[in-house]
Amino acid sequence: MRTLLKFMKWVGIILVLLVAGLVITILSTHDKTYEAPYPDIHASTDSAVIARGRYLAYGPAHCSGCHSPLSNWERIAAGEELPLEGGFAFALPVGNFYPANLTPHETGIGKMTDPEIARALRHGVGHDGRPLIDIMPFHNLSEEDLTAVISFLRTQPPVERATPKNEPNFMGKAVFAFVIKPVGPEGNGEVAHSVTPDTTAAYGEYLANFVANCRGCHTNRDLKTGAYIGEYYSGGFLMPSAVHPGMACMTPNLTPDPETGHIADWSEVQFIERFRAGRIIPSSEMPWEQFQRMSHNDLKAIYRYIQTLKPVQNEVKTIVHQLAEQR
């Protein structure tokens, strides 16, 4: 009996030391910095380049959906192109996070160089070297489109708004210590110099995966780490509403599975008409206000790409969820 008690005592001591070591490691490494290359990207004053960047920011890239305060949403939905001043907040299981002020004021990107902004978008590393949560899937933006976005950002009226620092909780600090690291372009790490807009499935793939982030929401993910845990585009990702607390939406299956694909029997016309209708489900996290601004050709391209996806059988029975009932 005394031998067993002695053994249990040492087991307890070892466990305490392991836990203490883990806590110390998390608290001492969650704020670490990284090196990443600075893309040779510089803003242009060409009006066509700026117009392309403005279209991406207020349309398919939906920057205004996160980098605008909630008080501006109705005006944005009405078509106003307001400065991307930040002021929104995301309450996630890993803490509270605040999209930055993207206007050229010193409280925004005014003190950042063009290559620093490009590095944040291409590699997920902030100007201070700290990794960014991979919410902006713009790592494979073409050189021309990345130039266009930065060129547009530089032309906005400067707005003074110092956004709060991100507030990761202990779980969030653990994620930053062990999971969140710089990212980069998919594939071989190279990106195209330019991508020609057209109505092909190939251009639709570029838009859906690297601009509009359709894949990022219509694939089941771990909200704690952001890791994909489902097959691409098969839905099933429960996304809490940032606007309607206690509500959430489950993203539908977009693959052309004839039995469980949400839009498997939609025509191209129906697909476009749905986007033109805008927001129907209030608690949906899909940025309808931005996506309904997309051109007909871009929507055609995305529709045609979706038709090429591998059919995945995954039935999403309920779209709208009341989180209080999920406990």
Helix (H, G, I), strand (E, B) or coil at 249: strand
Q: How far apart are CA 306 and CA 205, in angstroms?
A: 8
Amino acid letter, residue 135: I
**Tens-place pLDDT, residues 205-232:** 999 999 999 999 999 998 777 889 999 9
pLDDT at 2: 67
**Strand pairing partners for 228?**
221
Q: Are 213 and 291 in contact (CB under 8 A)?
A: no
Q: Compute the average pLDDT of residues 108-127.
A: 96
Q: What is the mean pLDDT of the chain?
A: 91
Q: Are strands 238-240 and 167-168 parallel, antiparallel or unpaired?
A: unpaired
Range with the lowest mean pLDDT among 88-102, 142-156, 173-187? 173-187
The vertex-60 CA angle with 39 and 254, nearest 5°, equals 115
Contacting residues for 296 by C-beta, under 8 A, at least 6 apart: 272
The full DSSP string for 207-247 is: HHHHTS-HHHHSB-B-TTT--B-S-TT-B--EEE-SSSTTE
pLDDT band at 182, cuts 50/70/90? confident
Rg of the chain's alpha carbons, rounded to an integer?
Answer: 22
**Tens-place pLDDT, residues 283-317:** 999 999 999 999 999 999 999 999 999 999 999 99
The end-to-end CA distance of the chain, in Å, is 43
pLDDT at 180: 79
Q: How far apart are CA 132 and CA 233, in angstroms?
A: 24
SS3 assignment for 110-144: CCCCHHHHHHHHHHCECCCCCECCCCCCCCCCCHH
**Tens-place pLDDT, residues 263-279:** 999 999 999 999 999 99
**Tens-place pLDDT, residues 64-87:** 989 999 889 889 888 899 999 998
Q: How far apart are CA 84 and CA 69, in angstroms?
A: 9
Contacting residues for 248 by C-beta, under 8 A, at least 6 apart: 238, 239, 240, 241, 283, 320, 321, 322, 323, 326
pLDDT band at 3, cuts 50/70/90? confident
From start to end of the chain, where are the E strands?
A: 90-92, 95-97, 167-168, 238-240, 247-250, 320-322
pLDDT at 4: 65
Of 222, 246, 241, whose CA–CA distance to 285 is shortest? 241
pLDDT at 7: 64
Asked if pLDDT for residue 240 goes beyond 50, the answer is yes
Q: How far apart are CA 126 and CA 117, in angstroms?
A: 8
